[in-house]
Amino acid sequence: MKKDLLSAWSRRRFLQAGGGLMAASALHFGYSKSALAQAIGKALPQFTALRPAQKGVLTAAYWGAFEAIIEQGRMVGVQPVKDDPAPNALIEMAPWQVYAPNRIKTPMVRKSWLENGPGSHTELRGRDAWVPVSWDKAIDLVSDEIRRLQQTYGPSSIYAGSYGWKSTGMLHNCRALLHRLMNLAGGFLSYSGDYSTGAAQVIMSHVVGSMEVYEQQTSWPNVIEHSELVILWGCNPHTTLKNSWNVPDHVGLDGFAQLANKGTRVISIDPVYQPGAKELSAQWIAPHAYTDSALILGIAHTLLSENLHDEAFLQRYTVGFDRFRASLLGESDGVVKSADWASAVCGVEAEVIRQLAREMARKRTMIMAGWGIQRQHHGEQPHWLLVTLAAMLGQIGLPGGGFGFSYHYSSGGSPTARGGIISGISAGSAPANAPAPIPVARIADCLANPGKTINFNGRQVTYPDVKMVYVAGGNPFHHHQDTNNLLQAWRRPDTIVVQEPYWTATAKHADIVLPCTTSYERNDLEMGGDYSQLYVFPMHQCVAPQHQARNDFDIFRALAARLGVEQAFTEGKDEMLWLKSMYDNMKSQARGAGSALPPFDMFWQSNSYIRFPIPEANKQWVRFADFRAAPLLNPLGTPSGKIEIFSQRIAGMNYPDCPGLPGWLPPLEWHGGEAAKRWPLSLNTAHPALRLHSQLDNTPLREKHAVANREEILINERDAARRGIQSGDLVRAFNDRGQILVGAVVTADIRPGVVRISEGAWYDPADPAQPGALCRNGNVNCLTVDIGTSMLAQGNCGHMAQLEIEKYQGEPPPNHAHAAPPGVV
Ligand SMILES: Nc1nc2c(c(=O)[nH]1)N[C@H]1C(S)=C(S)[C@@H](COP(=O)(O)OP(=O)(O)OC[C@H]3O[C@@H](n4cnc5c(=O)[nH]c(N)nc54)[C@H](O)[C@@H]3O)O[C@H]1N2
Ligand SMILES: Nc1nc2c(c(=O)[nH]1)N[C@H]1C(S)=C(S)[C@@H](COP(=O)(O)OP(=O)(O)OC[C@H]3O[C@@H](n4cnc5c(=O)[nH]c(N)nc54)[C@H](O)[C@@H]3O)O[C@H]1N2
Ligand SMILES: [Mo]
């Protein structure tokens, strides 16, 4: 999916390096002062890129690289690596991840499925009894089912897209391994896009010719030096930079700290006044939820009417501004998109909008936008309009100016180092008869409606009849919108296999669960810094596999053996041989780039990580500077080679919900729409500070944010007072789609009319037999809408829903979200 920022070049190189690797000698873990260890110690200083560990076993996670402190075979603590400029409390949960009481301890099969075969009593998923089985038996059941479905229905009957944030590691990448197995075993139905940037990545490809959201940003030193005004637009870096897709380098957090030190002016445009915005002394502008497009239009109209826009830039570098001007002036629809008009829609005072426009034009302005604003109905519009606004300001490609859509994510703007890149294990290629992928967030629609055809970015996609869902490394009962709708759709397939370390709600709703190791129970390698490619971290195994858990690699290898494709799956390599081949390939790239690295065995034994040097030029890199300098030589990847304020290609698709010109399209639910009459509050489902989605909800970190033993809800004082709600109260949040229990935090730091419940609380229905039952832990997706952003991108709309709240009366029910299913130890 996304975020695998490796170049096609390194991928190809990796594939070529496949065969002919020598067998590694015994690579036992341990740091006794053997003769070998001493020899290694002597040899190390010549390798200047190496950084030795201080006192623990080096490993890494999405939350940072750290040393695990091991005592008598148990992980008892952690210590961040020395280079981390902003270590993260999440790493301290590593021991709890390993020893969590709700680990799945043995392979399990749902009773009805085991007794009566695939497809039986699927309505009992989530409440049937569980039967433990041996690994041998489990592997037989799963491989027989794959074979049956391939033979009877073909590859389109197996949905193994398996979206999710799994764990770091280039070898034990469960999704890639699942795809690798399924490709070898006849093919499968996959997905395109992701839940993160479903709308933005599609619209940006049309507007600036690249996904943009996963591109390197103007480098941090350049921003710190040149930006005079930083706009955080629906952007909460203080929270979202804690974690990244590779191991975080946390350079972005350091960058924001430097902005604060320098006193750079920051404005945060967000219905919530974030703690991070406060640390930056940011001015808070709080629009109504889901109305950013109108706000941007109001700013654009002010620029135009006060002649503050850069006509020369627009002429030279964009197409379609004339049409946009006409739309601002209301020539097409009779609606002038003035600051006053915008104010009526978005609730920000017209004068504030005008001041914002003037200040942006006066200063060197960097617009840093997050992605919550595009996880909404018509979510294509805000980013398209922000690019348009930046084009009107004319600072795109200048130091410290323009826009950046990834400063809040994985440290976009962290200068790129020069070294080598680890290529992960390949998913292989799909057989010719494999079906076309579905847009990732249409999965419930697909399960429920085989044969239905939808529009998608100029194409049509017809849903196949899915008989099997295989999940490894994702949690759809947290990540997918409208959980109760998913619950119904989830009953359609014959067989659901979930490979997981924990009894998540998704695992509880499976037919077969296969317990897998956490990343701390196996050996792996990972890059540090998604954009910087600054580090290579060894992920040493810290402890033995717990209970009967197996590595994903070994589970898939066993399935491959039963399906007759083991040799192709493993290529004859075990864990350490795979790591050695990945390392060797990276090492030869690094040599070409001027960094000498030790042989693999020595690297592995030395318990060190690698930090590559950063070329001076990269510290001042400016996004779009090349395009600005020579637009004909360096055209964008759009049809015109320029920024497309108007897109003929999109216009040609004739989608009523995404025309060729960006604008304000009211969402399905919002404060000004029909739904608001019954459901007056607008939902904000931002990413949680002390979790990664649903991950770590089952650790003691939860005690720091849970209220009344439920997920917290932020409520404005006015809305709370009206309903007699106080901080600490148990609250029922509900709409037509579902109801959840949450714990109140009453605050002035959220706009009236908006409530926030973060994504990621585990789903815990009070009555699993009843779709629509109260979720006792506060899974916010019980309340969200499962529609696509538009026919263009079909992204998810997790950030848009109207609802009501009330103080919960009566005895607080128990919360079983983090317990194993009844009867299971
Ligand atoms: N309403 C709303 N919904 C949203 C969002 C929102 O903003 N609002 N955000 C969306 C976004 S951006 C995203 S990316 C998704 C995230 O959705 P997910 O990626 O599905 O969420 P995670 O909680 O990270 O789930 C990862 C699962 O993988 C398991 N796992 C970890 N390591 C391993 C491993 O090594 N092997 C195996 N087999 N399993 C492993 C974890 O235990 C966990 O259950 O949620 C989306 N959902
Ligand atoms: N700690 C932590 N870090 C993470 C993650 C995590 O779960 N936890 N997840 C990672 C992943 S997969 C992703 S995709 C990114 C997510 O990165 P984002 O998608 O940018 O994060 P969100 O929290 O969904 O939204 C960012 C901000 O948008 C605001 N917002 C929401 N709706 C509106 C609106 O209508 N108007 C305006 N102006 N603002 C709005 C929210 O209040 C929030 O402050 O974060 C990554 N980093
Ligand atoms: Mo995401």
Question: What are the residues whose beta carbons fall under 8 Å from the beta carbon of 144, sequence distance 6 or more?
Answer: none
Residue to mutate (ligand 1; options 166, 242, 498, 520; most atoms within 8 A of CB): 166
DSSP class of 622:
-
Atom of ligand 2 nearest to the CA of 269: 38
CA of 508 to the centre of ligand 1 (A): 16
Q: Whose CA is nearest to atom 31 of ligand 2?
A: 372
Look at the block and give the residue holding tokens 């950063």.
614
Write down the pLDDT at residue 172: 98
- Helix (H) and strand (E) counts for the chain? 28, 30
What letter represents residue 383's amino acid? H
Amino acid (one-letter) located at 386: L
Q: State the distance from the centre of ligand 2 to the C-alpha of 437, rounded, in angstroms.
A: 26
Burial of residue 129, with CB atoms counted within 10 A of its CB: 0-12 exposed, 13-18 middle, 19 or more buried: middle
Neighbour count for residue 378 (Cβ, 10 Å): 25
- Write down how long the chain is: 825
pLDDT(129) > 60: yes
The phi and psi torsions of 329 (rounded to 5 degrees) equal: -85, 0
Whether 506 and 443 have beta carbons less than 8 Å apart is answered as no
Q: Which residues pair with 61 in a beta bridge?
A: 64
pLDDT value of position 23: 31
Beta strand 712-716 with 739-747: parallel, antiparallel or unpaired?
parallel
Residues measured by CB to lie within 5 Å of ligand 3, the ion:
196
Judge contact between 786 and 704, C-beta under 8 A. no
Q: To the nearest whole number, what is the mean pLDDT of the chain?
A: 95
Q: How many CA atoms lie within 13 A of 49 on its CB side?
A: 24
Q: What are residue 76's phi and psi, to 5 degrees?
A: -115, -10
Across residues 430-454, what is the average pLDDT?
Answer: 97
DSSP string covering 661-673: S------SS-TTS
Indicate if the pLDDT at residue 6 is higher than 70: no
CA of 159 to the centre of ligand 2 (A): 28
316 Cα: distance to centroid of ligand 2 (angstroms): 34
Q: What tokens does 702 get?
A: 């939860």
Cα–Cα distance list, 557 to 30, 510, 521, 551, 741 (Å): 27, 21, 17, 10, 42
Sequential DSSP letters for 34-55 = -HHHHHHHHHGGG-TTEEE-SS
Residues carrying an active site annotation: 163, 165
pLDDT in tens, 513-540: 999 999 999 999 999 999 999 999 999 9
Q: Which residues form ligand 2's pocket by a CB distance below 6 Å?
A: 196, 234-236, 239-240, 242-243, 269-272, 274, 287, 289-290, 292, 370-373, 408-409, 684, 686-689, 691-693, 799
- Say if strands 265-269 and 283-285 run parallel, antiparallel, or are unpaired: parallel
Cα pseudo-dihedral 9, 11, 16, 21, rounded to 10? 130
Smallest CA separation from ligand 1 atom 46, residue: 479
- Please state the atom number of ligand 1 nearest to the C-alpha of residue 501: 42
Phi, psi for residue 606 in degrees, rounded to 5: -75, -15
Q: Probe ligand 1: pick from 693, 758, 782, 800, max atoms within 8 Å of CB? A: 693
Write down the pLDDT at residue 617. 97
**The tokens of 800 are what?**
């848009």
Tally of CB atoms within 10 A around 300: 26
The average pLDDT across 779-795 equals 98
Q: Which ligand is nearest to the CA of 277?
A: 2
Predicted TM-score (pTM) of the model is 0.95
The answer to whether the CB of 699 falls within 8 A of the CB of 93 is yes
Residue 43: the pLDDT is 83
Atom of ligand 1 nearest to the CA of 471: 38
Work out the percent of the chain whose per-residue pLDDT is above 90.
94
pLDDT digits (tens, 9 = 90+) for 155-201: 999 999 999 999 999 999 999 999 999 999 999 999 999 999 999 99
Whether 510 and 498 have beta carbons less than 8 Å apart is answered as yes
Find the range with the poorest average confidence among 14-28, 474-488, 727-741.
Answer: 14-28
